[in-house]
């Protein structure tokens, strides 16, 4: 949080519904946390008082379980399976359509999505960083994606500082959290009696001004800042790697480890189900297909989320460039953590930990990176909760199948 009280406001607990009401009055559909199907999802709020309180989730590799927050806070949860991604990059959409006219000719037309104004209440710092990476891909100069752009322009983001990261979180080590620093319209830090609030955009400032909030005191700002520091310090997982012999970074070390035996070992555990890519807030792979109408008079050209773990993803002109799970897992990890630096100037991982919690067999990305960069060619010893000692069936309390699509409907 900003250390300048002159830039920070304070909203009482009673003013949070007023904030939501103000957004609704300005025409936004407000999405907030709701417990559904055993997970925290972002659903449309039917009223300014519809935001759930007291939700938390216990997360471990291959495990996600809802619990109750004893302090009944609004934002005690770290994250659910959904990020911001599905509200900008739709899981399935029509890009264009073709119809047969009365003369039998074909008429092509672009299809742009309906994009209601959405306000997301409770966006996390890691997801804001992920959205910036999605922007870098879909809004590139000369290759601006009109479907993504239309939805993205309609987003109003109310970010929240994570006070209690999940055990699977490691955003502090990637530099992406737990305190929001950019990409939001309004940022909140929840204290016992209210919220320290910052405006990150002109429209965010206009919404806060409409509430006539008090200025935050130095003590309130310091408490919010301390909360963020403690949350960062509480994270036990890190994304790290020992530099290579040539002095390189994690990117260089991974690219020098393409024949490491760990790839074979993790392939014996990985199911190639694609859950990790479905819940990942930065993955943008997609496939395109045609869906002709049964009467033969029209057809839709569709774009769907895809996964590099799928067998068809590696098919090129009659052969498969990644025919096995070993090559697919290696492609996913090295692209995410290494070659993204060449594309976007940074890693593609923001430390949200979703791929760890929502993996049915509990594969831990940070653990695999540590093994690959340990300097040894031997597989690392398995800790007591290592997936190789677990059943490959989802554990009780898990949701195993692609829970990240859509708005939680």
Residue 147 has pLDDT above 90, yes or no: yes
The pTM score is 0.87
Please report, rounded to a whole number, the percentage of residues in the chain having pLDDT higher than 70: 88
Give the three-state DSSP class for 225: helix
* Contacts for 157 with CB less than 8 Å, ≥ 6 apart: 84, 119, 120, 123, 128, 131, 183, 184, 185, 186
Residue 31 has pLDDT above 70, yes or no: yes
Give the Cα separation of 176 and 123 in Å (integer). 13
Give the three-state DSSP class for 200: coil
Give the Cα separation of 112 and 401 in Å (integer). 29
Give the three-state DSSP class for 42: strand
| Domain range summary for the chain, segments of one domain joined by + | 5-82+114-233, 250-293+306-389
Chain position carrying tokens 């409907």:
409
How many residues belong to the chain? 409
Phi, psi (deg, nearest 5) at residue 130: -65, -40
Give the three-state DSSP class for 146: helix
Give the Cα separation of 2 and 20 in Å (integer). 23
Instruction: Of 330, 403, 339, 362, give the one whose Cα is nearest residue 60.
Output: 362
Give the Cα separation of 21 and 93 in Å (integer). 30
Give the Cα separation of 237 and 243 in Å (integer). 18
pLDDT of residue 409: 30
Bond into 305 cis (ω within 30):
no
Give the Cα separation of 313 and 68 in Å (integer). 40
Per residue in 263-294, pLDDT (tens digit) is 999 999 999 999 999 999 999 999 999 999 99
**Within 139-270, where are the H helices?**
146-152, 171-174, 202-211, 218-233, 250-255, 262-267
Give the three-state DSSP class for 125: helix
Contact of 117 with 87, CB cutoff 8 Å: no
The pLDDT confidence band at residue 5, using thresholds 50, 70 and 90, is: low
Give the three-state DSSP class for 233: helix
Contact of 56 with 77, CB cutoff 8 Å: yes
Residue 210 has pLDDT above 50, yes or no: yes
Comparing 7 with 179, the larger pLDDT belongs to 179
Give the Cα separation of 334 and 340 in Å (integer). 8
Contact of 373 with 253, CB cutoff 8 Å: yes
pLDDT of residue 4: 56
- Run of H or E residues at 110: strand 106-110
The pLDDT confidence band at residue 183, using thresholds 50, 70 and 90, is: very high
């Amino acid at each position: 949080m900003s250390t300048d009280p002159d830039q920070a406001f304070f909203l009482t607990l009673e003013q949070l519904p007023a904030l939501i009401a103000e957004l609704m009055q300005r025409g936004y559909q407000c999405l907030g946390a709701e417990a559904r199907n055993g997970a925290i999802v972002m659903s449309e709020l039917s009223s300014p008082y519809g935001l759930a309180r007291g939700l938390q989730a216990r997360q471990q590799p291959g495990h996600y379980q809802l619990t109750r927050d004893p302090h009944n806070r609004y934002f005690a949860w770290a994250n659910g399976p959904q990020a911001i991604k599905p509200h900008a990059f739709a899981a399935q959409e029509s890009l264009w359509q073709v119809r047969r006219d009365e003369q039998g000719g074909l008429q092509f037309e672009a299809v742009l999505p309906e994009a209601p104004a959405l306000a997301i209440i409770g966006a996390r710092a890691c997801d804001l960083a992920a959205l910036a990476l999605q922007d870098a891909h879909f809004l590139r100069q000369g290759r601006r994606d009109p479907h993504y752009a239309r939805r993205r322009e309609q987003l109003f983001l109310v970010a929240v500082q994570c006070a209690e990261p999940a055990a699977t979180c490691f955003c502090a080590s990637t530099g992406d959290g737990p305190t929001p620093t950019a990409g939001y319209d309004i940022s909140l830090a929840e204290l016992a009696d209210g919220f320290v609030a910052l405006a990150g955009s002109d429209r965010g400032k206009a919404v806060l001004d409409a509430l006539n909030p008090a200025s935050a005191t130095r003590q309130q700002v310091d408490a919010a800042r301390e909360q963020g520091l403690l949350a960062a310090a509480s994270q036990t997982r890190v994304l790290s790697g020992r530099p290579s012999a040539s002095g390189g970074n994690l990117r260089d070390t991974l690219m020098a480890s393409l024949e490491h035996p760990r790839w074979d070992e993790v392939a014996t555990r990985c199911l190639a189900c694609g859950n990790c890519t479905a819940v990942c807030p930065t993955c943008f792979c997609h496939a395109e297909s045609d869906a002709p109408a049964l009467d033969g008079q029209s057809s839709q050209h569709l774009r769907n989320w895809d996964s590099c773990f799928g067998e068809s993803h590696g098919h090129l002109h009659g052969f498969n460039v990644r025919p096995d799970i070993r090559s697919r897992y290696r492609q996913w990890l090295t692209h995410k953590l290494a070659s993204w630096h060449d594309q976007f100037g940074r890693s593609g991982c923001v430390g949200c930990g979703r791929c760890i919690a929502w993996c049915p067999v509990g594969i831990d990305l940070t653990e695999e990176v540590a093994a690959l960069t340990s300097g040894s060619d031997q597989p690392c010893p398995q800790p007591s909760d290592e997936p190789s000692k677990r059943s490959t069936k989802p554990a009780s309390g898990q949701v195993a199948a692609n829970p990240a699509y859509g708005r939680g409907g």
